[in-house]
Amino acid sequence: MNNKRAVFIDYGMMVLGTAITAVGINSFYVPARISDGGMSGIGIILLYVLHIPLWVTLTVLNLPLLWLSKKLWGNRVGTRTVFGTLMLSVMVGVLHFGAMTHNILLATVYGGLLSGVGLGLVFRARGTTGGSDVIARLVIRFLPLTMGQAMMAVDFFVIAGFGVIFNPTLAMYSLIALFISSRAIDVVQEGVSYARAFTIVSRDPDAIAAKVLATMDRGVTRIGAYGEYTQEPREILYVVVTRSEVSTLKDLIYSVDPQSFVVVATVHEVLGEGFRKPPLES
């Protein structure tokens, strides 16, 4: 029962994500003649040059890519990829609210945010919307590039097309939209940096661990290590806390051992006891 509920939530998230992305495209990108790359960017170019509806371009270009991907990778191109790709075409064809602003900077910011949040929801539901990622996977099959490099190259050529067909200023706004969209995708998938991870090297790990457990009610993980400089075995403590607890933990550590060596790292997402519950497996 939980599995069915998780699948239902995932597909619902993909519907919501594609709807948000479609609003970003139709209400901000299309009127301003900008894009964050991908198939939607190609579609906007063809919309203005050949007057082909955007949803038609998305469908016509993505269907052969999905077929080719299925031939090359088989079952790895699952129903979520097909669903997300076709749902975006449907939402782009249905959700038309007109231009929400005629200010190109606002269109860039809000278009990038909506596109990124929407795609982030789709990716979080383990789906895709076709386009750049499918083309990138085809590119790396034949060229010595990473997935990230291939996607960047695809988006770069699409955005360069805006500079050639429209004007360089619109291409520069499109680059800003691409950056905003990418950051929004990361935030939706990974979460905001609400937690910090402490790596603690101390001569008195027992006392620090006991105090963390007693006063902060946070878990402590001990990791066996060896100090190359001191030529001595050491225990490293690993503790994850919220941002509001950072100062408390620092004071606690240095009240026990002022000579402690501490590394504080940003954590984007924490799943498990004391933090966010892990998602249900589908």
Mean pLDDT, to the nearest integer, of 16-40? 91
Q: Which of 33-47, 60-74, 117-131 has the highest mean pLDDT?
A: 33-47
Tokens describing residue 205: 């790990």
Q: Give the residue-averaged pLDDT of 111-127.
A: 87
Share of the chain above pLDDT 70, in %: 88
Q: Are strands 232-242 and 221-227 parallel, antiparallel or unpaired?
A: antiparallel
Q: How far apart are CA 269 and CA 124, in angstroms?
A: 13
pLDDT tens digit sequence for 178-218: 889 888 887 887 776 678 899 999 889 999 999 998 888 88
Banded pLDDT at 280 (limits 50, 70, 90)? low
**Where do the structural domains in the chain lie, given as residue ranges?**
2-190, 195-267
Q: What is the pLDDT of residues 149-158, one digit of tens each?
A: 677 778 888 8
Amino acid letter, 217: D
Q: What is the pLDDT of residue 278?
A: 62
Q: Which residues contact 149 (CB under 8 A, 6 or more apart)?
A: none
For the domain spanning 195-267, the CATH number is 3.30.70.120
CA distance 209 to 194: 22
Full-model pTM = 0.74
Query: Which positions ≥6 away from 52 have C-beta within 8 Å?
Result: 43, 46
Whether 115 contacts 131, CB under 8 Å:
no
pLDDT in the model for residue 153: 79
Give mean pLDDT, residues 122-151: 74
Q: Residue 281: its pLDDT value, please?
A: 45
